[in-house]
A and B are shown apart, each in its own frame.
Chain A
Amino acid sequence: KAGVTQTPRYLIKTRGQQVTLSCSPISGHRSVSWYQQTPGQGLQFLFEYFSETQRNKGNFPGRFSGRQFSNSRSEMNVSTLELGDSALYLCASSLGGVADTQYFGPGTRLTVL
């Protein structure tokens, strides 16, 4: 079974631009969660989508948004990029049930200049 895939793997943007990241979950998984990883703040939860609906949301500004499609693929968008948005963005998929293991993708490394 193919794992979680994320595209692109690396991205360089400048302040003020916007960016869209994509995540394809493991086949059969209906939940996709997004995390931001930085050296200072560690791993922080952004949001989770399940069956095209946002089920949970972390404490991030409205510039961070996401969506999920009917095939469970998910996209995350960050508008008006700031230097502090430079991070590794990880998505994780799971079946979506209670205590189901989340399987992480390789991540997208975003650098904002």
Chain B
Amino acid sequence: ELKVEQNPLFLSMQEGKNYTIYCNYSTTSDRLYWYRQDPGKSLESLFVLLSNGAVKQEGRLMASLDTKARLSTLHITAAVHDLSATYFCAVDIPGNTPLVFGKGTRLSVIA
């Protein structure tokens, strides 16, 4: 059974600081997704990582995938308040299997 673990689950960080969210998964996969969810809202797709070593960047967020370590990271650079949200990683394995989500990391950026 595929398990996805994120840490930390809660993160309070100051504006301007850098931090990394980690996503570990239990079964071999080369497909990992990052989503953002604002309070009371739906999930917004951030990144799709489809191969070992994949790196994608959008603004202050950068995601990477190491399939050998079964690890993805979401790095936040110089955080701003607008990044406050819950971030989910999700994994699926070949064969049209459903996405399995991590518990989410609730990020709060404070002045």
Same complex origin of A and B: yes
Q: A-side interface residues toward B, CB under 8 Å?
A: 33, 35, 42-45, 48, 55-56, 58, 90, 92, 98-99, 101-107
- Which residues does chain B contribute within 8 Å of A55, judged by CB atoms? 96
* Contact-size category for B: 20 to 34
Are the C-beta atoms of B45 and A99 separated by less than 8 Å? no
Q: In the complex, what distance in Å separates the CA atom of A42 from the CA atom of B48?
A: 20
| Number of A-B pairs, beta carbon distance below 8 Å | 46
Please tell me if B25 contacts chain A, counting CB pairs below 8 Å. Answer: no
Q: B-side interface residues toward A, CB under 8 Å?
A: 31, 33, 35, 41-45, 48, 50, 88, 90, 92, 94, 96-104
- Which residues does chain B contribute within 8 Å of A98, judged by CB atoms? 94, 96
- Which residues does chain A contribute within 8 Å of B50, judged by CB atoms? 99
A102 CB to nearest chain B CB (Å):
7
Q: In the complex, what distance in Å separates the CA atom of A34 from the CA atom of B54?
A: 28
Are the C-beta atoms of A33 and B98 separated by less than 8 Å? yes
Q: In the complex, what distance in Å separates the CA atom of A106 from the CA atom of B44?
A: 10
Are the C-beta atoms of A48 and B45 separated by less than 8 Å? no
